[in-house]
Structure formats: structure tokens, C-alpha cells
Amino acid sequence: MSLAYAVPEDVARLLGDPPDQLSSGRRQEYRARLERASQKWDRTTGRPMRTIRVGSQARTETWEYHDVREARGGPPVTIDINYGSILPIDRDAGDRVEIRKGRDSWDDVTDEEGDTWTLNYRSGELKAYRFLISRAFFEAPHERFLRLTYRHGGLGGDRNLGAETALTSSVTDTETTLPVGEAAAFPRAPFTVLLGDGVDSPEYATVTAVNSDADELTVERGQESTSPVAWDADTTVQYSPADVREAVASKATEQLIMNDDADLSVPDNGNLSSRAERAERLRDEWEETCGKYAGVRTL
């Protein structure tokens, strides 16, 4: 499964169940609901807080393509990549930028940033300084001249943007300093990060200080009904705003409450704790938060 914005303990808390007594079956069910709610967040708001890849690395037909009609100006020509908050293009991470050099051939220019192309990572505006002007612009205006696969979401640098990095070395379950790949991606403390993939033994940690020079986070371990865990190097460290995590957990919980087959102690007895009314409150929280981040009211 992909990295969700919340963990099963969040759902258990909203349902009023003891988070430390989750069975493996409940954990799996809650995790699946959270992933669906996370996907819905990404689609509804267009503001993913986690890293999402555009295009399969091994299948160029799935990459994002741009044709001449989309280009503005020139040279250089400017095109708008489909998404903003793009992570820095990194060959080692599987990112690629290619420009057509013939009818059926492409030139890999991934490592030519600053010379052949430049990219505004926040807005997704890309400028290409080399292209087939004689053929594409005058003879074949529908020609696809640029293609790329990249990652977006989780760029960080702002309290309202998700951030994602990884541990650079292993840590025990008692260490309070986390070595990370890029501490500067995180906002000013305090805030909460999720360690791990949220599947088996997720851990929330409260960050009390960010050392960007040393790429370290000072933390309080095992927060929000989770327990400290020993983690290996390359473990994901993810930040998303607290209200986003709460909204995704609310959406997953709402779906569970309204599922007639769910074995949940949520009576539909006509009073204020009825299933329908609880679900409505959770739905309102979801819609309010989506509207805040998307800039429009969701339906």
C-alpha cells in the first residue's frame, strides 16, 4: 500500500476504541480505508501531501508528454507541467526529462538542468532551451517534443505543505535525535511526523527542534497513542498538517460508521450519538478541510 496520511490508531481514537488494542484484522481494515481516504484527498484538493510519481519509470508510454501547441514563447519555450510542488529532479530516484531529437528517438537531458532546461518546482513551470524548431514548430505543431517522469507532493518548506524524507541511519526506540536526509523540508517546530509506512507499527513523534545544518530533528517519541519503535535507515519520515491528518482519519471513520457490515459499536438509536449524526460531523470536518486547502468548497 501507499503511504497514507493517518494511521489506524487515529481511526480507533475517533471511534472511541482503545488504540493499543487493535486486532490485526481491524488494523488492516482501517489501513485500507485510510488509503482510500488519502487518495480521495489527493483527487479532491489537488494538493497531495505525500510523494506521488507521475509515470512508471519503466514504461515511457505512461510519462507526461507535452506537444508544441502547449509551448509559449521561445526560445526558450515555456510549458506548464501538470502538477506543482515537484520534488527536485533526481536521476537516482528514477526521474527523467527527455527531449525529442528525431521521429522515434529521444535525448535524455535529465542531468542538463540549468543548461537545456530549468524548472520552477513550486509552480511546475518548465523552460526548454533546445527543441526541434524547424520540424516541430513549423511542420508538425502536434508533435510531442518533451516527456518526463517525476515526483510531486511532499516538497515541504511550508507549514501547509507536506514534507517527506527518510532516516539516514538507524535509530533505537529511545533516541530523541533523528538523522534525516533533508531537515530543511520541514516547517518550524513544533509539529508531528509519522515514522514508517503506517502499516504494522506506526509511530508519531513530536518535533521540538529542527537543525537544518546538521539535518537532524529533535523529537519526543511515541506520541498520539503510538509506541516508540526501533527504525532502520531509509525509514520514511513524513509530515502533513495536523488538520489534514485529522480530515483523512475522519473520512475513513465516516465510511466505517456507515458501512452496515462493519462490526462497530455505533448504535443508530436516534439520539446525538447515532451513526448518521456521527458520520455527518465527520463528513463536515472532511469537507471543511478540503475546502481550505483546495480553495473551493467541495461537494
DSSP 238-288: EE--HHHHHHHHHHHHHHHHT-TT--------SSTT-HHHHHHHHHHHHHH
Q: How far is CA 81 from CA 50, 113, 153, 255, in A?
A: 18, 15, 13, 34
Which pLDDT value is given to residue 297?
Answer: 42
Contact criterion met (CB below 8 Å) for 5 and 200? no
A 10 A CB-CB count for 185 gives 23
Q: What is the pLDDT of residue 176?
A: 97
Q: From CA 213, how far away is CA 180, in angstroms rounded?
A: 11
DSSP 99-110: EE-SSS-EEE-T
The strand pairing partners of 119, in sequence order, are 126
The DSSP code for 88 is P
Determine the pLDDT at residue 246: 97
SS3 57: coil
Beta bridge partners of 254: none
- For position 137, what pLDDT does the model report? 47
pTM of the model: 0.83
Task: Report the distance separating Cα 176 and Cα 171, nearest Å.
Answer: 9
Q: What is the pLDDT of residue 264?
A: 53
Domain layout of the chain by residue ranges: 8-51+160-293, 52-152
Q: CA of 22: how far to CAs of 16, 31, 190, in Å?
A: 12, 12, 28
CA distances for 105 relative to 75, 97, 144, angstroms:
22, 13, 11
Residue 250 φ then ψ, to 5°: -65, -40
Question: Mean pLDDT by 10-residue block, N- to C-terminus, for the chain (299 residues)?
Answer: 85 90 90 95 92 93 90 85 93 94 87 96 90 52 85 91 94 97 95 87 96 97 94 96 97 86 51 74 95 66
Helix segments in the chain, DSSP class H: 8-15, 24-45, 242-257, 275-294
CA separation for the pair 166, 209 (Å, rounded): 17
Please, which residues bridge with residue 66 across strands?
146
* The pLDDT value given to residue 131: 63
